Amino acid sequence: MFGPLVFGENKHNHQPDYQTKCLLCEDIFNLKISLPLFLAHAFDVHNIVIEDVESIENLHEYVTYWRNKFKCSPAEQIIPSLNLGTSNERYLVMSSLLKEDKDIRHKLKLEYALKVQEFERIDKNYIKPCIFCKLNFEGTRHGYLEHLSAQHNLQLGNPQNLVYITELIEIISNKISDLQCIYCEKTFPDKSVLKEHMRKKLHKRINPSKTEYDKFYIVNYLEADKTWQTIQQEDDRYALSRGRYFINSKALQHFI
């Protein structure tokens, strides 16, 4: 039997403690603590399924956006519907397959990432032992990264271009604790051998081919469905086409 998605752990615990009105009625939910209840209500009462709800940043704003939209036009005229399960009932499926839905999800994701990035830039209460030395660092996350770069030549990228730095540092710290190179991910018998390997092989940096690190670079949030690799390829193609244009222009001038 098909039903609403219910999650054991609510990812939206970081969300503001807002009271959110239902998409279509006046019922009110606290999405921070009762997301499964809200999803069950949407499914059972309104025949609505919100796809991939756990990936939506600021679910309150997402629901409020569509609630206001549905006040102007019936949901059935905007959201595609499907027969789900064995019943003949049709359900409205809210997903990123609808361009407007995709756009609002991306907008909220970018806005949230920028808020986190700003907080990480100015928060001076970050305390973390250095991965490599005995320093117990206190200050900003940017300052911690600058220490790793200046004192230990660990290059994780320009702090201004990073986001979710706390999580990134934990991942790197755990790898080092597990005696694993952060670039090639080989393991070593002790920390001194690991450090020597990373120094000699120039592996004191993140491997750009590892997509699990994409979430930590703000450039990957700027355009929907585009990573830094995609943007770089587009820039390279543009530069190449511009180069060809200049070459052809010079060749043309030669023959005039």
pLDDT tens profile 20-74: 999 999 999 999 999 999 999 999 999 999 999 999 999 999 999 999 999 999 9
Asked if residue 199 and residue 163 are part of one domain, the reply reads: yes
* 102: enclosing H helix or E strand: helix 99-122
Establish if 113 belongs to a structural domain. no
In a domain, 59, yes or no: yes
Residues 217 and 131 in one domain: yes
Domain span at residue 83?
A: 11-96
Whether residue 149 sits in one domain with residue 86: no
Residue 6 has pLDDT above 50, yes or no: no
Number of structural domains, the chain?
2
Please name the residue that has the structure tokens 């305390």: 127
Q: Is the same domain home to 207 and 127? A: yes
132 and 90 share one domain: no
Whether residues 92 and 47 fall in one domain: yes
Q: Are residues 136 and 67 in the same domain?
A: no
Inside any domain, residue 63? yes
For residue 18, being part of any structural domain is answered with yes
Q: Do the domain assignments include residue 160?
A: yes
192: exposed, middle or buried (Cβ count in 10 Å: 0-12, 13-18, 19+) = exposed
Q: What confidence score (pLDDT) does residue 248 get?
A: 44
Going by pLDDT thresholds of 50, 70 and 90, the confidence category of residue 96 is: very high
Structure-token pair, residue 184: 């090639």
Q: Please provide residue 40's backbone torsions phi and psi, each rounded to the nearest 5 degrees.
A: -65, -40
Same domain, 85 and 127: no
What is the model's pTM? 0.81
Once rounded to an integer, what is the mean pLDDT over residues 171-199? Answer: 97
**Is 238 among the domain residues?**
no
